[in-house]
Structure 1
């Protein structure tokens, strides 16, 4: 008799895309992986909102534009993301689109999406993206982050003497060690409840700390703090590599 290790539960994924060929392709690609199972799929926003809670996926792969390119600015998948994240905060949403659209990208991030990839991505890249967001990390490359930060700053904000997409050391120095820890978790895409669980704090305490962090960093939105946290990690990683 040989002892057998208990296998880890599979990563459950839900697919929303109005093109059957795309859905089938994504399903076949993901189900070829031994640790991933497609828990459900939908062709419309209404179907997705009805089926996702019952399917209990870890990741939802959502087409940004539902109804085809002819629908213009229809970002139906973004609305599905926003609604699902409100109902299921632990769900990671990965947006999939054929278009490199700054407006859709911005809307998706504000809706709580953990990642945003183009359909031109290769099969291994999509699988990696699903696993990345499932692990609680976000997918936002530096160029994309800079575009989003520029969009967040908007014309109503006065020009800054430095590029505010880069963290200001004096602003960061104002944060306490605990606030820096929370900022890092914001950068990972965690909600207040998840941060509270991770740090063994009350959710209300985390909410207050987040408000303090936003104030000290001089930003108004959580996603801006998340982008700053991402830049801090990049700089820290670069410094470690240089000294390694």
Structure 2
């Protein structure tokens, strides 16, 4: 992605706050942002409550928000900031490539939705674009993504779906083989097949997707 940067050095650096409950991840993102031209990380937070307090103090122009936080979600933080009259422009930065979360981010007022797997230069470009007033997340994006893959597990066999559930439980390949009474090689074959069908590359991505699904189910039950 290559986006025009509208902010110049004469207008001062773009102030950025990062909200992520994993300190190592947060610091890594902060280093990427601080190394970028004309960007300055002015605050960090690890929860919704802390994010609200620090945003009120430093009033950053852009906030990078993780989707999953210990006391709520990035969506919750964006909505509460908006209700409080904050002018900071939010960007969701998450590990979850999730269409429902994408739609909720749009509804809450997020200007962009980025995966943590993106290159540092792309994060920088998106921050510059959002600070300049651009919105990179719109209804067409959400609609297109839903049409492309409403359910990434739709093509999985019953055995592959069972393996996904067991991966979500944290079982190793050997433990899954024991649970299903099959050879470990069979489990590996199932994982290779389901990764291809789901458009994923690693076993850990399956676990992350399954965890996101469970969180969404709990959220729906609580409404």
Does residue 58 of structure 2 align to residue 58 of structure 1? no
Instruction: Pick one of 33, 36, 46 that aligns with 1:33.
Output: 36
Match of 1:24 in 2: 27
Tell me, in whole angstroms, the C-alpha distance in 2 between the residues paired with 1:36 and 1:62.
16
Cα contact 1:16–1:42 (8 A) shared by 2:
yes
Measure how far apart 1:63 and its partner are.
Answer: 0.2
Instruction: List runs of 5+ in structure 2 lacking aligned partners.
Output: 1-8, 148-223
Tell me, in whole angstroms, the C-alpha distance in 1 between the residues paired with 2:138 and 2:119.
16
Structure 2: how far apart are the matches of 1:79 and 1:113?
11
Q: Identify the residue that residue 14 of structure 1 maps to in structure 2.
A: 17
Whole-Å separation in 2 of the counterparts to 1:140 and 1:61 = 14
1:134 aligns with 2:115: no
The corresponding residue for 1:97 is 94
CA contact (8 A) 1:12 1:36 kept: yes
Could you tell me how far apart the structure 2 residues matched to 1:148 and 1:82 are?
A: 23
TM-score of the superposed pair, with normalisation by structure 1: 0.53
Aligned to 2:159: none
Within 5 A, what are the aligned runs for 1:181-192? none
Q: Equivalent of 2:143, from 129, 141, 146?
A: 146
For the residue of structure 2 that corresponds to 1:7, the secondary structure is: helix
**Residue 140 of structure 1: how far off its partner (Å):** 2.9
TM-score, length basis structure 2: 0.57
**Aligned partners of 1:56 and 1:142: how far apart in 2?**
28
Partner of 2:51: 48
Alpha-carbon distance, 1:93 to partner:
0.2
Secondary structure of 1:41's counterpart equals strand
Higher relative contact order (CA 8 A, sep 6+): 2
Separation (CA, whole Å) in 2 of partners of 1:116 and 1:133: 11
* 8 Å Cα contact 1:39/1:56 also seen in 2: no
- Cα drift, residue 96 of structure 1: 0.7
User: In structure 2, do the counterparts of structure 1 residues 123 and 142 end up closer, same or farther at CA, with 3 Å as the change threshold?
Assistant: farther
- The one-character-per-residue Cα deviations of 1:188-210 (angstroms, maximum 9, x if unpaired) are xxxxxxxxxxxxxxxxxxxxxxx
Give RMSD over aligned pairs. Answer: 2.4
Shift in alpha-carbon separation, 1:104–1:75, aligned structure 2, 3 A: farther
- Residue pair 1:106, 1:148 contacting (<8 A) in 2 also: no
How many pairs are equivalent? 140
Residue 10 of structure 1 and its aligned partner are, at CA, apart by: 1.1
